[in-house]
Amino acid sequence: MSVAKKEYKRITTRSLVEMKANGEKISMLTAYDYTMAKIVDGAGIDVILVGDSASNVMAGHETTLPITLNEMIYHASSVIRAVERCLVVVDLPFGTYQGNSKNALDSAIRIMKESGGHAVKLEGGSEISESISRILTAGIPVMGHLGLTPQSIYKFGTYTVRAKEEEEANKLIEDAKHLEQLGCFALVLEKVPADLAEKVAKAIQIPVIGIGAGGGVDGQVLVTHDMLGMTHEFNPRFLRRYLDLHTEMTNAFKGYISDVKSRDFPNEKEQY
């Protein structure tokens, strides 16, 4: 059944809760720079995530762990200057909030003040309760992240699907309820079984946005460079490629090289 779509001039955390209540799915993509963010926002996306995936996509690291708070602020600042409509959520990077709630608050405040971001995202459940609570007391909106949490990759040892066993599935549900009770405005679920993700989405009132979590959640998020086909080595089941920019860009670069070498570029119309 189609649902009447409310027009939002500006997406806020409240907008996302309304969208869930109205049965409207939430669209979310990543961006790390001004140019990409301008295009994504202009297309009508609801949420831009300035993800610590910039560590992989922009800097070429194997994991998300190396990216620093200063680097996240730089990327978020670039994105904020581009957006007019969407909500911008910024990842708190590894080491800036785990085990130290004062450090967590200081990190979140720096992101909000120095980048102009609208909210922060933290990975983890009950073990980071104190950090989430302290950030929320400062009036900073928090998005949670459960399931596969890439900052804990060395703990998991693999990027495989999480919460397939009953014990871990039950903990995930309890953590989701706990994050809602703490005051998180939304939750990302990454790489968990679709039936479990749907169960979580129905168990809580805040929006659940999935990546590799099936269609029963309240919205979807992908890394923009992946869904555009700019990256081609990464091929998880959940990824749908909407373009093959790797091929298109490669052909464009080769065409440019050929035109320069053959003296075809610039021609008479392309010079002063």
Measured CA to CA, the distance from residue 220 to residue 249 in angstroms comes to 27
**C-alpha 255, offset from chain centre:** 34
Task: Pull the structure tokens for residue 185.
Answer: 């405005």
The three-class DSSP label of residue 49 is strand
Instruction: State the maximum Cα–Cα separation within the chain, in Å, rounded to a whole number.
Output: 71
H or E stretch covering 36:
helix 34-43
- Nearest by Cα to 148 from 162, 136, 134, 138: 162
Pairwise CA distance, residues 34 & 40, whole Å: 10
Active site residues: 190
